[in-house]
Chains A and B, each alone.
Chain A
Amino acid sequence: MPIQLPIAFGFTDPPMLGWLAAAAAPLLIQWLFRKKHRETDWAATAILRAALRRRARRLRFEYWLLTALRTLLILLVVAAVAGPRLDSIGADDSAGGAHRIIVIDASTSMSYKPAGATRFDRAKELAGRIVGDSPQNAAFSLVVMGSRPRSLVAASPDRAEILRELDALEPTGETASLPPAVAEALRLVEHARDVLPGIGPQQVIFISDMQWIAWAPRLSGPRYAEFLEQSVELAKSASLIVLDVGQPHADNLAVVGARPLDPPVLAGQSTPIRVKLMNYGAGEISNQQVDLLVDGLRVARKQVDVPLNAAAELDFSYTFDAPGDYRIEAYAPGDLLEADNRRAASLSVREKIRLLSIDGRPSAERLQGAADYLETALAAAAVRPDHPRMQVETAGENALLEADLTAYDCIFLCNVARFTAAEARALNAYLQSGGGVVFFLGDRVDAENYNRQLGAPGPGGAAGANLLPARLNEIAERTQYRLDPLGFRHPILHAFSGRGEGLANAPVFKYFKLSMPVEGQAQTSGGGADSPNGDHRADDSATTAVLNVGDGDPLIVERRAGQGRVVLVATAAEPAWSALPLWPSFVPLVHEIAAFCTADRLQSQIADTAESDLARIELDELQKATWPGVPFRCKTGAADFDAATIAVARSETAPPTVLLYCALGLLIADTVLSWRFGNPFFGQYKRQ
């Protein structure tokens, strides 16, 4: 016959136990009111003394009985409010078996390998032991804890199934997050009730390294309230157990970035590649070895000192001999979390940058076409030895549909009058693939068509390619003698910093007034984008001003669209609209625009650097900040999990109503006995 051995007793609401101090109230009241009695002279003291002596034992018994009743009454009420819980060890003899939901942390930090086995290996082992030691009629669920938790097994009595899933489980490389795991566990608890009638007690067992980033959710307001509410609900339905497989002081060095400094990368040119490292450890790291690998082969090795809790950068230089796709990787070996010791990026190395220039108003006469000055500037840039090689092709508007746009790194559209829906779709597809599009406006531009075909979708679901950085308005024909480079903050103008006075003095005679999108309502084209340093960046498709006219109206704006970029120049590349095409700054300007648009054609392997910080949450912080008022048990010390921990069985919550009924019975007994005994008080039974 299975035997239940109590191993732990707890409370669902431990803070209420502070009211246990009220149990001293009967004694305190007795003491306070001890002096509050009448006094009277008395003659028959001998008889009274004899009576007291006669009743001393009985009085003592009555006093302590009433005091005990009243104290127990208070204790029962406090315990009922605190919600007692009895955990016992042993086989589950309930008619329905226990349901154990194992939530296993599979984030990157779990790959930390302190002593022969990673945290994740340890977690899998523990999970396996929990499954193996469970009673035969137990059911299991398995949840992988990540940014989006996955339920691999849901309320299944087939332990072979869960063991198979455990065996095949690998770290996800994601960042773990507690709130979605709690929500998923709660869903599984309710699911188990539906599919397993007569189910016994339920447990949710979290196996994690207690990394701060996962267990200290950065939620506030209604979202935090929702998380806490779900946690409380979960704790009421199941007992929560946290098995901590982390280590108290885990140092870690991570490679957080590897990128070429001056994209695009062209074959035959020395390409500077910058590697960034971050030290999350407790001390400075000296002479850290860093390798640069290209397509798996080490091509360079350097050492660097990385200060405590700080970053360090290291520059390599490599020349790609031939165009093609390459994989570069920075590797810093030596610490226990191998997963973040490498950072890779895929590069498309080109022979040259291919540009397509579409002239919206071609002319046979020299420098009379809308794109002539632009093409001249691009060609001039192409021959400069310090500029990437560029190949410019000129085509008409039909190229948008007839040419393979993906063969070009960037497309310039000069004074194109209007676009069809198909052309807009073609441009959008090109941008989604990572291409760059630059619009130069002019007198032929149909602003309404641009806004309709290329702008944001209109009301009523009207089609719009949603790639235009700003809405076109009326033409301003007020000569602007000064341009505002906005502090040269934009990458396009970085090269002009310190010598941009020439650019700033270029007069602009006409330009389209642009309406920038309202901040916070950026037009999005879906998906995220990869930043040049390889870090994953949230979708940042907000329009950014590059260059303004003196009045403050934007002249050049840009935004991300899909994997590519769109630059909108509100004036024409013709002297009739502005002196820019005649200005010496025009050549480097269009070069920088072309380089900017082609720079993002990189694909990096995204790894979340947040997991590299192995800082952990301590138990008191977990109780106060993450789960205030949520009852749970935490077992720390991965090496010390014993059979009792693994074999945690039932958690029973004594129904508070039972305690309240007992308290009511005591109250009645107290009333009756008080009437019967009178009010015995401390001291009257002392020996006389």
Chain B
Amino acid sequence: METTARLLDPAMLARLRRFPLRARWPVVGYVSGAHRAPFHGFSVEFADHRDYAPGDDLRYLDWKLYGRTDKYYLKQFEEETDLACYLLLDVSASMNYRSAAAEMSKLDYARRAAAALAYLVVSRQDGAGLAAFDNEVRTLLRPAGHPSHLNDLLEAIAGAEGGGKSSLGPVFHELAERLRRRGIVVILSDLLDDFQQIVVGLKHLRHRRHEVVLMHVLDPAEIDFPFDEPTLFLGLEDAVELPAEPRAIRAAYRAELTAYLRRIQAFCRSAEIDYVQMQTDRSLEAALAGYLSMK
């Protein structure tokens, strides 16, 4: 079991803090936070100017602009609220895979990513929640933004154990029903499950107006298929033994994987889901920074 201390890299987090996690669309929050609410209003954050019309409240007259332009303009403000971020962590057996090229398993990598995101969210007083799942939801923590909640999240992330077979679609359906508050749903999974069920599940989440971020965690061996000798592949989630001559099927495997990834990416584009591909032999910071910088 991961220790909470190992989950966070202070140096990485310090660098990532400049990339706040923002919602793509206006979210509904209970606390005035940093995220756009779907309604315009008078709030702290200046949004725009408009021409003064007789009868407007002169308290919002931008006197500095008048001094420059001799014209009367009113300030417009955006109403800000807090973000609910749900971290969905796949703890199925397939996530335990680790090849020789990777320093850690996909699950460890996903834990670190989840921990980093939880930190980033909570540090901005946004609410972060956690759902760890394999073929069912194993752990569920509701979003909260107070600092002590971060510890709970980290402990839950570190202690999340599953090991069962993947069942992403049904889990997404369940979570779509349970996560009432609209927010950002960050899914950390290898997505090695039935594609159609995954799609239907994601669609359900999107139907609930959640912003979905799909962080696809893969091991480099699963991408490159670097094996040379005749190998017997033992399935992690099912009692499958696949003898294969890797050199003979490497091209076909890569083609299948590429096609699978394209399907996922195409769906994500169509469903307005952010897709982030992560490899466990690559820098987590770079992956997260790359995504956050686009937000």
Contacts and interface: CB of A to CB of B under 8 A. Distances in A.
Interface in A634-688: 677-681, 683-684, 688
Given A39-B231, A681-B243, A45 B237 contact: yes
Interface residues of B, number: 36
Nearest to A674: B247
Interface string A312-351: 0000000000000000000000000000000000000000
- Among B106, B248, B252, chain A packs the most CB atoms within 10 A around the CB of B248
A189 to B, nearest CB: 55
B245 A680 contact: yes
Contact of B243 (A45, A46, A678, A683): A683
Interface string B93-135: 1111100000000100000000000000000000000000000
B232 A47 contact: no
B248 A59 contact: yes
A62 B192 CA distance: 30
Most chain B C-beta atoms within 10 Å of own C-beta, residue among A43, A47, A55, A678:
A43
Nearest to A679: B245
A50 interface: yes
A42 B245 contact: no
Max count, chain B CB within 10 A of own CB: residue among A48, A50, A679, A688: A48
* A44, A47, A681, A684 interface centre (most CB from chain B within 10 Å): A44
Interface in A372-407: none
Given A45-B242, A50-B256, A680-B245, A38 B229 contact: yes
Contacts of B219: 43
Interface in B215-245: 219, 222, 227, 229-238, 240, 242-245
B249 A52 contact: yes
B232 A37 contact: yes
B198 to A, nearest CB: 12
Given A55-B248, A677-B248, A42 B234 contact: yes
Contact of B192 (A43, A52, A59, A678): A43
A55 B257 CA distance: 14
A678 B247 CA distance: 5
A398 B94 CA distance: 132
B242 A49 contact: yes
Contacts of A46: 192
A679 B230 contact: yes
A49 B235 CA distance: 11
A61 to B, nearest CB: 11
A54 interface: yes
Contacts of A518: none
A42 B248 contact: no
B234 A39 contact: yes
A42 B248 CA distance: 18
Nearest to A49: B242
B260 interface: yes
B246 interface: yes
A190 B238 CA distance: 77
B222 A684 contact: no
A679 B231 CA distance: 11
The residue among A47, A54, A62, A678 with the most chain B CB atoms within 10 A of its own CB is A47
Given A42-B242, A51-B256, A55-B249, A37 B237 contact: no
A43 B97 contact: yes
A324 B92 CA distance: 128
Contacts of B229: 37-38
A54 B93 CA distance: 26
B192 A40 contact: no
A411 to B, nearest CB: 102
Interface in A51-96: 51-52, 54-55, 59, 62
A38 B249 contact: no
Contacts of B231: 37-40
A376 to B, nearest CB: 113
A680 B232 CA distance: 13
Of B93, B97, B244, which is in contact with the most chain A CB atoms at under 10 Å from its CB? Answer: B244
Contacts of A683: 243
B44 interface: no
Interface residues of A, number: 29
Given A52-B242, A54-B256, A59 B97 contact: no
A42 B256 CA distance: 16
Contact of A59 (B222, B234, B249): B249
Contacts of B192: 43-47
A519 interface: no
B255 interface: yes
Contact of B242 (A54, A62, A681, A688): A688
A39 B96 CA distance: 17
B81 to A, nearest CB: 40
Given A39-B232, A42-B234, A62-B248, A47 B227 contact: no
A51 B243 contact: no
Contacts of A40: 227, 231-234
Given A44-B222, A47-B257, A681 B230 contact: yes
A212 B56 CA distance: 139
Contact of B256 (A36, A39, A47, A680): A47
Contacts of B227: 40
Contacts of B281: none
A620 interface: no
B63 interface: no
A48 B236 CA distance: 13
Contacts of A62: 248
A358 to B, nearest CB: 107
Contacts of B93: 43
Contacts of A38: 229-232
Given A41-B97, A52-B249, A684 B234 contact: no
A55 B252 contact: yes
Contacts of A39: 231-234
Contact of A37 (B222, B240, B243): B243
Contacts of A41: 97, 233-236
Interface in B246-278: 246-249, 252-253, 255-257, 260
Given A40-B233, A43-B192, A48 B242 contact: yes
Given A49-B242, A681-B243, A681-B245, A43 B253 contact: no
Contact of B248 (A37, A47, A678, A688): A678
A43 B238 CA distance: 9
B234 A54 contact: no
A47 B230 contact: no
Contacts of A679: 230, 245, 247-248
Nearest to A682: B243
A39 to B, nearest CB: 5
B119 to A, nearest CB: 28
Given A42-B233, A44-B94, A45-B233, 8 more contacts: A41-B97, A43-B96, A43-B97, A43-B192, A44-B257, A48-B242, A51-B252, A680-B245
List 5 tightest A-B contacts by C-beta distance, closest first: A678-B247, A43-B94, A42-B233, A43-B97, A51-B253
Interface of B: 93-97, 106, 190, 192, 219, 222, 227, 229-238, 240, 242-249, 252-253, 255-257, 260
Interface of A: 36-52, 54-55, 59, 62, 677-681, 683-684, 688
8 contacts: A38-B231, A38-B232, A44-B222, A51-B255, A51-B256, A59-B249, A678-B247, A688-B242
